[in-house]
Chains A and B, each alone.
Chain A
Amino acid sequence: MGGSSKVLGLTAADQASLLRLAILGLISVVAIGSRLYSVIRFESVIHEFDPWFNYRTTQYLVKNGFDKFWNWFDETAWYPLGRVVGGTLYPGIMVTSAAIYNALHLVNVPVDIRNVCVFLAPVFSALTAVATYQLGKEVKSATAGLLAAAFIGIAPGYISRSVAGSYDNEGIAIFLLVLTFFLWLRAVRLGSALYGALTATAYFYMVSAWGGYVFIINLIPLHVFALLAMGRYSNRLYVAYSTFYALGTLASMQIPFVGFQPTFTSEHMAALGTFGLIQLVAFAQFLRGLMPARHFQVVVRGALVGLFAAGAGALVVLTMRGVIAPWTGRFYSLWDTGYAKIHIPIIASVSEHQPTPWTNFFFDLNLLMVLLPAGIYFSFRELTDNHVFLILYSLFAAYFASVMVRLILTLTPIVCVMAGIAMANALEAYLDFRSSSNNDGGGSGDAAQPADTQNSSSTEPSGAKRMHGWLGRTVVVVNLMYFLWMFQFHCSWITSSAYSSPSVVLASRGPDGSQHIIDDFREAYYWLRKNTRADARVLSWWDYGYQLAGMADRPTLVDNNTWNNTHIATVGKIMASDENTAYELARRHDVDYVLVVFGAMLGYSGDDINKFLWMIRIAQGVYPDDVSEQAFFTAGGEYAIDDSASAAMRASLMHKLSYYRFNEVMGQHGFDRVRRQQLPTKVELSNFAEAYTTENWMVRIYKVKELDNLGRRHRAAMAFDGGS
């Protein structure tokens, strides 16, 4: 076909690129559009927990400038310890938002910073689609790239972290992850120092944005190592990796939160070791050119054994002496899923750190999960350096995704690329309806390399043609199209039903289908904001720390940045202690208000009583003498809250704060809708005074009383005052 058929004065190649551009544009529109359910359903609001911190810091950055942001010490968090915010966060997302905000204001677009934050993730998902297209094109063909881009645009595994309002690091990090890998593969293919440096730049951005950068700095060395082990050393590889590692590591160390970690933590040692190894291999290659083969063999063997022994020995010794920081708990929990539950309850208590149930894979990836093995198969068929990378990425990401729910996120891009490859292969074979089998250049106008790969596998289409006629092809293609069509339905359904709830605002449906908005969280936070002193310390379980800081603007004791286990355990201990002990501890920590989340009225199962066991476990880890998990179960081993509950349970502050006066609204024989148990009949509270309870009783706020003015005990004072 070539230049023979011109439409609108465009050659076939131009038509193809125009089409590609249009398709990519449409994919971007779909990617952004499908992430807006939450804004349309609810409002332009920041979701969940962590995004509230990001939002608050972004506000600070926009208001005070980068220098103050960099040196910001937040004395209202982790009262009274404070948090060095500038040095303990990944500033990428805030800086990105602030840059967009400032750029828009520079051209007189008066956009609110909140809207920048809310819509950042959807916009970056469009960029992710473009980066995925480039990646797909790099490893296979433009067709595969477009398919991969379309997949990642709507894959629920990625949408779960990038809907509008989900202003979290992952929102931009997945884009950077894909971009870094794309640049890396190109650098390896071209052996270009420029692309190596670009990879390092993208990596730096990634480091500044998300802790998941560790995945990159382990996967790329792994790729290099695998290539070396396969005897595929090349100068291209040497140039790409040396450039990337040197520049990327130096750049990553500029992020204060990372600091010198790349030089001494175990997570970064693989990259350093590979860097050393590739130098040795390069040197060996150089030596081979200088000396006779026989001598060279001896030298290489001796050197390999000696170096390996020395390196391993040094690693062991340094780790044992503490020079190299040992693996962190989070890392161990990646290998042994039971590890966290025993040793670090605070990690295990987070639902997104749980092992993944298999249904989640289907839920989040659907059709793509089935295409992944096919993609791996096709990658093996033509094993280039790039395909080695894809296979490694697939295997490792799949493993990690099965260990931790949240890591499905890192799996999603590669699954999309692999599915794109598989689908492209299938479609290229079955969608070619021309009777002449020789010429296949016109369809895609591909780059040189993909064209090569097609040539190498050109026997397949012809073979397929022999076996199946028009009918067979049509059946296969229609089948595939049907699956894709269903996939698209699945994605939009999941997105709209599962991933678009802000969780700050809840919705329920009445029997007539009308929507009822439950806005208790914001009601409570707003009450705190408007009715308490600006420096009133609010104690709550750490889940609500960021939201309290963001929406109520009050100092908190613990928040979602769970850096101080002892402090969290102290809060757990306060909740698990009897009222008098809790009162003493609370006063010692200058607590003014205590906030608990209580779902028994609505049947909201994510409430504090259900999280209570984790509080107890965490507290027990630090204060084993004062808190014992066993004491909170009944003799029969049940987790009861009614009158049959254990003494420790009934005496605990959490129980009292939750059920205090609750039977006044539910009746004496009321029912806890979450636990499905009778309410406790008698809940007395004297050291804490109920300050506010929201409309649906979801959030209850109590004031910690001052010491009695006359030196009485609160219980006695209340008994006396009650008789007036």
Chain B
Amino acid sequence: MRLSASLAALAASLAALAAARSAAGDRLLVVADDAAQYSDLLAALARRGFAVDVRAAANTSVALSEDGRRLYDHAALLAPAAKRVGAGLTAQAFVRFVNDGGNLLVAASSAASDLHRALAAQFGAEFARPGSRVVDHQARNATADHATVAAAIARPAAAAPILSPDLRGPVYFRGIAHRCDPANPLLTPVLTAARSTYSTPLADPPLAGRALALVSVLQTRRNARVAISGSADLFSDALAPTNRRFVRDLLQWTFQEKAVLRETAHSHRLAGAAAADAAAAVTAATHQPEHYRIGNDIVYDIALSVYHDDAWHPYVADDVQFEAIMLDPYLRLTLNRTRAKDTATATATATASATYRGRFKLPDRYGTFTFRVNYKRTGYSNVDVRDTVAIWPLRHDEYPRFLTAAYPYYVGSLVMVLGFLALCAVWLWSADPAALANNHHHPAQPPNDNADDDAAAAAAAAAKSKSKPSKSKQKQKQKSS
């Protein structure tokens, strides 16, 4: 049993090795007019397991999709001056490709065509005016035209997963700058220029210094990745000696070879059910009731794994948050990692994941809640897990039965019942009016004594009702006669 399980795990890991090293697939289209210029890059890509398909831009057989299905998992547009690609691949076709989940690298140059501009604009990157280029007169390895600039690696606070932390040193860039549209929340610059850099010819307002982006990345809401570079030369053999590591990091990220985050399982259940079997807790949804009741104790589990270095690893973080939302968040708590779970799932499924768990008590509010883990960190894939959960009010017999505060009322009703019984007893067994002569036995009797004297006496109501039926019987008799 154990042997077969480990064999299966081995087979699975072998299969993982044989497969592409990108988490998204291995079919890569490279559109390059002069492929020889990128031989270093292409060789590296092939080495990393990509099935690289290099096509010239003018090749009319280039297509991104066929019958509505993608032909490639990734595309690199390394033809910076191409006015058109293939038979008629428009910017729309590339956007559709990305919307279908393909990853895309767009590399332009000073001669960037309308295609590049239109495409980059859709991702929120606005290239500088046609023909303009980035210039830095203080660059250390300045060429004659000062157009190869040493760019600084932008490290936005949370962009660590995109570029390795130990990546240092200048990256050389020759091409066109772009401006990031602040309205697009998904776009992040990863390569920015030194303060002395500017785009020439000058525009109004001038594009210079920090405002000017050289390479930006964007991850779509559905986790496709796009990199936009103003320079195709950045990827060329000529600049490879300095740029190789940056290019590797950038493309590894873009083609989903790292920082791919996913949720492998999540569940929520009543806290009581969790203790019963802890091992299968994450994967099994068997303990999820149709709905919860207010105030229930709930355990929420979510397993996250991250892809890098050819395999899925447990994703370790201390900021995984859970929310229970009904219009507004009623609960927000940070989930804690449960260590025991990692190994268990690792052996079970060849993918390792880290399990995060939260225990909480549902609010005293019924309605349709959304249990949500909305984990979005720059560079990592978005994880947005939602469960719509109905929280019902208590059943009619689930409310507390006896309340201390209500004891006076209980006593009250009890006294009422006893009093009524006592009255009945007194009424039934008290003296017959005819035996009035037999003096007093009960001091409380006088009203009764008067009853037959005065027919209108209120206490005689019951007596009346005794006499009534006979009257109505008489009437019925009249009717029938």
Secondary structure call for the B interface: mixed
How many angstroms between the C-alpha atoms of A709 and B458 in the bound complex? 83
Any A CB within 8 A of the CB of B186: yes
Q: Which residues of A contact B468 (CB under 8 A)?
A: 190-192, 236, 239
Among candidates B185, B393, B457, B469, residue contacting A192 with C-beta atoms closer than 8 Å: B469
- Asked if residues A239 and B465 are in contact (CB atoms below 8 Å), the reply is yes
Any A CB within 8 A of the CB of B218: yes
Q: Which residues of B contact A103 (CB under 8 A)?
A: none
How many angstroms between the C-alpha atoms of A448 and B366 in the bound complex? 60
Q: Which residues of B contact A82 (CB under 8 A)?
A: 366-368, 390
Encode contact with A along B346-387: 1 for CB under 8 Å, 0 otherwise: 000000000000000000001111100000000000000000
A284-292, A349-357, A508-516, A626-634: which lies at the B interface?
Answer: A284-292
Among candidates B93, B291, B368, B395, residue contacting A724 with C-beta atoms closer than 8 Å: B93
How many angstroms between the C-alpha atoms of A289 and B367 in the bound complex? 62
- Asked if residues A709 and B99 are in contact (CB atoms below 8 Å), the reply is yes
Tell me how far the C-beta of A279 lies from the nearest C-beta in chain B, rounded to whole angstroms: 8
Tell me how far the C-beta of B258 lies from the nearest C-beta in chain A, rounded to whole angstroms: 22
Any B CB within 8 A of the CB of A358: no
Count of chain A residues near B, Cβ 8 A: 47
B16-24, B146-154, B265-273, B448-456: which lies at the A interface?
Answer: B448-456
Tell me how far the C-beta of A393 lies from the nearest C-beta in chain B, rounded to whole angstroms: 24
Any B CB within 8 A of the CB of A713: yes
- Asked if residues B291 and A282 are in contact (CB atoms below 8 Å), the reply is no
Nearest A residue to B92, CB-CB:
A724
Given contacts A73-B393, A82-B367, A191-B464, contact A713 B183 (CB under 8 A): yes
Among candidates B123, B368, B457, B464, residue contacting A710 with C-beta atoms closer than 8 Å: B123
How many angstroms between the C-alpha atoms of A190 and B472 in the bound complex? 7
Among candidates B220, B366, B367, residue contacting A709 with C-beta atoms closer than 8 Å: B220
- Asked if residues B461 and A282 are in contact (CB atoms below 8 Å), the reply is yes
Size category, B interface: 35 or more
How many angstroms between the C-alpha atoms of A70 and B396 in the bound complex? 8
Any B CB within 8 A of the CB of A643: no
Among candidates A70, A81, A239, A720, residue contacting B122 with C-beta atoms closer than 8 Å: A720
How many angstroms between the C-alpha atoms of A71 and B92 in the bound complex? 54
Any B CB within 8 A of the CB of A270: no
Encode contact with A along B188-225: 1 for CB under 8 Å, 0 otherwise: 00000000000000000000000000000010111010
Among candidates A84, A192, A710, residue contacting B465 with C-beta atoms closer than 8 Å: A192
Tell me how far the C-beta of B293 lies from the nearest C-beta in chain A, rounded to whole angstroms: 9
Any B CB within 8 A of the CB of A301: no
How many angstroms between the C-alpha atoms of A590 and B461 in the bound complex? 64
- Asked if residues B465 and A193 are in contact (CB atoms below 8 Å), the reply is yes
Encode contact with B along A67-97: 1 for CB under 8 Å, 0 otherwise: 0001101010001111010100000000000
Which of B98, B118, B450, B461 has the most CB atoms of chain A within a 10 A radius of its CB? Answer: B461
Nearest B residue to A716, CB-CB:
B122
Given contacts A84-B366, A710-B123, A711-B218, contact A238 B458 (CB under 8 A): yes
Q: Which residues of B contact A458 (CB under 8 A)?
A: none
How many angstroms between the C-alpha atoms of A239 and B454 in the bound complex? 17
Q: Which residues of A contact B123 (CB under 8 A)?
A: 710-711
Any A CB within 8 A of the CB of B447: yes
Which residues of B123-140 are within 8 A (CB) of A? Answer: 123-124
Tell me how far the C-beta of B102 lies from the nearest C-beta in chain A, rounded to whole angstroms: 12
Nearest B residue to A722, CB-CB:
B92
Any A CB within 8 A of the CB of B475: yes
- Asked if residues B390 and A235 are in contact (CB atoms below 8 Å), the reply is no
- Asked if residues A710 and B450 are in contact (CB atoms below 8 Å), the reply is no
Among candidates A235, A588, A707, residue contacting B221 with C-beta atoms closer than 8 Å: A707
Tell me how far the C-beta of A570 lies from the nearest C-beta in chain B, rounded to whole angstroms: 10
Any B CB within 8 A of the CB of A485: no
Any A CB within 8 A of the CB of B141: no
- Asked if residues B396 and A256 are in contact (CB atoms below 8 Å), the reply is yes
How many angstroms between the C-alpha atoms of A191 and B123 in the bound complex? 87
Tell me how far the C-beta of A6 lies from the nearest C-beta in chain B, rounded to whole angstroms: 17
18 additional contacts, CB 8 Å, given A235-B461, A712-B122? A70-B396, A73-B393, A79-B368, A86-B396, A192-B465, A192-B468, A239-B464, A282-B461, A285-B456, A447-B478, A706-B221, A708-B221, A709-B98, A709-B221, A712-B184, A720-B95, A721-B95, A723-B92
Q: Which 7 A-B pairs have the closest CB atoms?
A: A724-B92, A286-B458, A289-B454, A75-B390, A282-B458, A711-B186, A80-B368
**Chain A residues within 8 Å of B, Cβ to Cβ:** 70-71, 73, 75, 79-82, 84, 86, 190-193, 235-236, 238-239, 256, 282-283, 285-286, 288-290, 447-449, 535, 555, 588-590, 706-713, 717, 720-721, 723-724
Q: List 7 A-B contacts (CB under 8 A).
A: A70-B396, A75-B291, A82-B368, A449-B475, A710-B186, A710-B221, A720-B122
